[in-house]
Amino acid sequence: MTQISRLTVIGSGTMGHGIGQLAAMKGIEVSIFDVDDAALGRASQSVATSLARFVKKETISEQESADILARMNFRSNLDEALEGAEAVIEAVPEVLELKQRVFTDIDARTSPDVLLGTNTSQLSITAIASATKSPERVVGMHFFNPPVIMRLVEIIRGTLTTDDILARTVALSDQLGKESIVCQRDTPGFITTRAIMALRLECIRIFEEGIASMEDLDKAMRLAFNHPMGQFELNDYNGLDIALQGSRNLREAYGERFAPPPSLVSRVAAGRLGRKTGAGWYEYPTDNK
């Protein structure tokens, strides 16, 4: 399978700039497009900070860091950003209508042999692809945060995704130095979100039934299963509101086994969303509180 030499990333936020940096670190010329100039500024700053950390740890040299930065362009013009792209990866917010608009735009501006990937965590690939005239080239390419570090890419086959596009997506993941798994059917939660939500919700229920404390459940995940964090600690990082939304989406698809537990619903209602609000499952008091 031929390797790609030019990638365009749409959206320069948490995931987009990380995917772009990863690709540039693997020798690919990268354009990152965003509608928000301030976001582009933050993205280029975050990449520079991340590369400086790699230099400090002697993972890469000063020269390599400069070469990586030189391979990256931050663009606010979509036509310029898409010039010469062999693959495009979209990482705009998780809103179906927004992603559909973005895909209509990139579909119209790229030749039909260009691979179009979406980094959605749980939206339907098929629904996103339906906004294009060439849905067969749209594929799920779900990276994990931070993309430069996390080893997996979850590849999702849309209803119309061709075998060729799927094979090219696996090859692109290989080129980026990642392990990949393939979700063969475009189903809610794919593989990883569905599996982790089942575990998270069951941990919450064990806590609600008074069988174990949150601390002991987190300790169990860390020490019995070698998870780097327990489910309560991890959920405080990625947001209780995100978990509640995920739970509701999965309940709609799979039924009551994914119903949101009352203690999750009430915490979100009280604004306890995790570290970002200073409290979630645990408290995170700041110095002046």
Residues that bind ligand NAD (CB under 6 A): 10-16, 33-36, 39, 91-94, 98, 102, 119-121, 142-145
In whole angstroms, how close is the CB of 125 to ligand NAD at the nearest point?
12
By beta-carbon proximity to ligand NAD, the closer residue of 79 and 208 is 79
Rounded to a whole number of angstroms, the CA Rg of the chain reads 20
In whole angstroms, how close is the CB of 246 to ligand NAD at the nearest point?
10
By beta-carbon proximity to ligand NAD, the closer residue of 16 and 261 is 16
Taking CA atoms, 275 is separated from 35, 215, 223, 241, 282, in Å, by 28, 16, 23, 12, 8
By beta-carbon proximity to ligand NAD, the closer residue of 146 and 278 is 146
Taking CA atoms, 64 is separated from 33, 61, 69, 73, in Å, by 23, 5, 9, 16
By beta-carbon proximity to ligand NAD, the closer residue of 118 and 161 is 118
Tracing tokens 């098929």 back to the chain, one arrives at 126
- Contacts of 123 by beta carbon, 8 Å cutoff, 6+ apart: 94, 96, 99
In whole angstroms, how close is the CB of 39 to ligand NAD at the nearest point?
3
By beta-carbon proximity to ligand NAD, the closer residue of 182 and 206 is 182
Say which DSSP state 148 is in.
T
Tracing tokens 């089942």 back to the chain, one arrives at 198
By beta-carbon proximity to ligand NAD, the closer residue of 97 and 209 is 97
In whole angstroms, how close is the CB of 192 to ligand NAD at the nearest point?
9
In whole angstroms, how close is the CB of 78 to ligand NAD at the nearest point?
8
- Contacts of 41 by beta carbon, 8 Å cutoff, 6+ apart: none
Paired tokens of 218: 């987190």
Which among 261, 159, 255, 251 has a CA at the least distance from the CA of 201? 261
Phi, psi dihedrals of residue 213, rounded to the nearest 5°: -80, 165
Q: Which amino acid is at 196?
A: I
In whole angstroms, how close is the CB of 122 to ligand NAD at the nearest point?
7
